[in-house]
């Protein structure tokens, strides 16, 4: 089966140019001068549109156990929504619970995901029980294609790791070439602030933000960076939301330390004002770290431009407003943490191009090319080039759409961006050569997505 994507502008991280893209089977076979005569079984007209590498969302939580419930998207519904939004690869988090092994955790996540994903997928591993055994098991995870390990400085009693435990895992990362991913918030201090707020009768969702001040993200980020320096481990800060944390990352990168960071669309577009919405509406925006006062947003955009922020992922972790966020009515600390987003990352970041915050090429770089390199998938993913997987998105930069829960495909009863007007829209999506989305609908299938055994972080020297 061959497909010719004809008449479009190919946008890679390295530049944009007019070219026709020939797909044969699951791979990109050639980039051709526009109109070059070639026979193909199918032709897709991309005139006036961008042809970009499929998005890679390096931070999702499908069916994640959290706060006494599970995130609402399954691997099937979540990857179908991802495809609708032009994301053709997700890297999801397997979650070790205390007392269980990393390898049994990995088996469990394979059992949930294998045969159900509509687009390709890989796993990171959340390490919440640092023992001699789990440290040793990190080696087996790496052999199994999982070489990124998330740890938490937040959530004492659940995922929290002490500095000593983090140090030991970082030493193992240094030894093996793995990357430690860090949820950097000072959870010990936060828990005190939360207890004090509740004791004073402050129970509304906005308190989630007020009890997790930006300084405590900055402090934890600095501490993680220090531990990484002492151990020589690479470090990837997940879901960075605060200017103080960005400042710490910027300084570390300026001294040549292997520190990387991602932010998420919610921190670029939403703010503490959303968390303060009345009638428990604010619960829709409860995620950790919390949404920040608006002034942090311009700093994050600056970080994206200067590459102090390398990646935009979604931290997609949806909980329904009606029956899941509800668990925390009367006690904000019981609201399941997380927001939906996997479907709209490409569109939301395209607004950055429209508004002149980032270039077209940087849009592709932070949404696809850098995640591919960071998570060991390049050049198979993240680029429109011969030999790469034919994960190809035809994006119409002039189309208009309005984000709404009434039209989205995520399995959640609200949108964090309800009513937001978007310039640009995904037109057609190919996943390994198969058209999975076109203007008319979804044509993929659960089970089409393959597990990606990933190489080590390709930015490490």
Q: Which of 315, 343, 365, 391 binds Zn ion (CB under 5 A)?
A: 315
Nearer to Zn ion, 183 or 212 (CB): 183
Give me the helix-helix angle, 163-176 and 214-231, nearest 10°: 50
Residues 6+ apart with CB under 8 A from 111: none
The SS3 assignment for 96 reads coil
> Taking the complex as a whole, how short is the minimal distance between the CB of residue 84 and ligand URP, in angstroms?
22
CA atoms within 13 A on the CB side of 127: 31
Closest separation between CB of residue 152 and ligand URP, Å? Answer: 7
Task: DSSP letter for 122, please.
Answer: E
In the complex, least distance from residue 315 CB atom to Zn ion, rounded to whole angstroms:
4
Q: Can residue 212 be called a binding residue for ligand URP (CB under 6 A)?
A: no
**Which of 183, 212, 350, 381 is close enough to bind Zn ion by CB under 5 A?**
183
Closest CA to 431 of 401, 397, 388, 399: 388
On whether the CB atoms of residues 149 and 124 are closer than 8 A, the answer is yes
**Which CB atom, from 4 or from 287, has the smaller least distance to ligand URP?**
287
- Please state the closest distance from residue 414 (CB atom) to ligand URP, in A: 15
Residues 454 and 106 sit within 8 Å (Cβ to Cβ): no
Q: Is 61 in the site for ligand URP (CB under 6 A)?
A: yes
Contact 375, 454 (CB under 8 A): yes
Q: Is residue 337 close enough to count as binding ligand URP by CB under 6 A?
A: yes
Picked from ligand URP, Zn ion, none, the partner binding residue 120 (CB below 5 to 8 A depending on kind) is none
CA distance 327 to 152: 23
Interface residue with ligand URP, options 135, 181, 237, 317 (CB under 6 A): 317
Nearest distance in Å: CB 152, Zn ion: 7
Nearest residue by C-beta to ligand URP?
A: 337
Contact residue for ligand URP among 234, 338, 352, 382 (CB under 6 A):
338
Name which of 143 and 323 has its Cβ closer to ligand URP. Answer: 323
Say how far apart CA 48 and CA 250 lie, in whole Å.
38
Comparing C-alpha atoms, which of 453, 444, 387 is closest to residue 26?
Answer: 387
Residue 338 interacts with which of Zn ion, ligand URP, none, CB < 5 to 8 Å by class: ligand URP
- How many residues bind ligand URP (CB under 6 A)? The answer is 9
Q: How far apart are alpha carbons 232 and 280 in whole angstroms?
A: 45
Q: Which of 183, 212, 292, 296 binds ligand URP (CB under 6 A)?
A: 183
- For residue 78, the partner it binds in Zn ion, ligand URP, none, with Cβ less than 5 to 8 A by kind, is none
3-state SS, one letter per residue, for 397-426: EEEEEECCCCCCCCCCCCCCCCCCEEEEEE
Binding partner of residue 228 among ligand URP, Zn ion, none, CB under 5 to 8 Å per kind? none
CA–centroid distance for 285 within its chain = 17
Quote the CA–CA distance of 89 and 374 in Å, as a whole number: 13
Closest C-alpha among 276, 421, 416, 280 to residue 347: 421
Q: Does 300 bind ligand URP (CB under 6 A)?
A: no
Is residue 314 at the binding interface for ligand URP, with CB under 6 A as the rule? no
Rounded to whole angstroms, the Cα distance separating 112 from 77 reads 12
Q: Which residues contact 202 (CB under 8 A, 6 or more apart)?
A: 210
Stretch that binds Zn ion, among 21-29, 45-53, 75-83, 312-320 (CB under 5 A): 312-320
Contact with ligand URP (CB under 6 A): which of 211, 250, 271, 288? 288
Please choose, out of 38-46, 84-92, 311-319, 450-458, the segment that lies near Zn ion by the rule CB under 5 A.
311-319
Q: How far is the CB of 225 from ligand URP (least distance, A)?
A: 19
**Among 63, 299, 315, 391, which residue sits at the site for ligand URP (rule: CB under 6 A)?**
315
Give exposure, 390-418, as e/b (b: 16+ Cβ within 10 Å). Answer: bbbbbbbbeeebebeeeebbbbbbbbbbe
* Binder of residue 337, out of Zn ion, ligand URP, none (CB less than 5 to 8 A by kind): ligand URP
| Site for ligand URP, rule CB under 6 A | 61, 183, 239, 287-288, 315, 317, 337-338
| Site for Zn ion, rule CB under 5 A | 183, 315
């Amino acid at each position: 089966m061959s497909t010719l994507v004809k008449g479009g502008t190919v946008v890679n991280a390295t530049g944009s140019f007019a070219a026709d893209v020939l797909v044969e089977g699951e791979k990109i076979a050639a980039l051709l001068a526009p109109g070059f005569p070639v026979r193909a079984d199918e032709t897709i007209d991309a005139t006036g549109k961008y042809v970009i590498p499929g998005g890679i969302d390096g931070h999702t939580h499908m069916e994640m156990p959290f706060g006494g419930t599970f995130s609402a998207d399954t691997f099937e519904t979540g990857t179908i929504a991802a495809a609708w939004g032009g994301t053709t690869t997700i890297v999801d988090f397997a979650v070790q619970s205390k007392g269980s092994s990393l390898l049994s955790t990995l088996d469990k996540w394979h059992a949930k995901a294998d045969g159900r994903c509509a687009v390709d997928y890989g796993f990171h591993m959340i390490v919440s029980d640092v023992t001699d055994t789990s440290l040793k098991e990190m080696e087996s995870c790496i052999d199994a294609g999982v070489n990124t390990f998330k740890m938490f400085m937040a959530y004492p009693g659940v995922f929290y790791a002490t500095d000593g435990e983090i140090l030991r895992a970082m030493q193992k990362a240094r030894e093996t070439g793995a990357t430690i991913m860090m949820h950097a918030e000072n959870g010990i201090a936060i828990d005190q602030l939360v207890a004090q707020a509740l004791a004073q009768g402050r129970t509304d969702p906005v308190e989630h933000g007020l009890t997790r001040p930006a300084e405590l993200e900055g402090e934890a980020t600095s501490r993680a960076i220090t531990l990484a320096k002492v151990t020589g481990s690479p470090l990837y800060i997940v879901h960075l939301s605060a200017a103080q944390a960005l400042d710490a990352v910027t300084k570390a990168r300026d001294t040549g330390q292997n520190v990387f960071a991602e932010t998420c669309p919610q921190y670029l577009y939403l703010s503490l004002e959303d968390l303060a919405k009345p009638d428990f509406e604010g619960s829709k925006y409860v995620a950790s770290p919390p949404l920040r006062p608006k002034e942090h947003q311009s700093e994050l955009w600056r970080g994206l431009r200067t590459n102090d922020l390398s990646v935009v992922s979604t931290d997609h972790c949806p909980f329904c407003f009606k029956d899941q966020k509800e668990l925390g009515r009367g006690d904000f600390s019981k609201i399941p943490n997380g927001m939906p987003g996997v479907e709209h990352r490409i569109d939301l970041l395209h607004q950055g191009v429209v508004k002149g915050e980032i270039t077209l090429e940087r849009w592709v770089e932070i949404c696809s090319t850098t995640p591919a390199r960071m998570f060991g998938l390049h050049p198979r993913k993240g680029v429109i080039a011969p030999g790469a997987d034919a994960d190809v998105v035809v994006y119409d930069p002039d189309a208009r759409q309005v984000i709404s829960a009434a039209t989205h495909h995520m399995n959640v009863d609200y949108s964090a961006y309800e009513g937001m007007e978007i310039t640009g829209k995904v037109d057609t999506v190919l996943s390994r050569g198969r058209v999975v989305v076109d203007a008319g609908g979804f044509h993929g299938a659960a089970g089409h997505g393959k597990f990606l055994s990933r190489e080590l972080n390709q930015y490490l020297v």
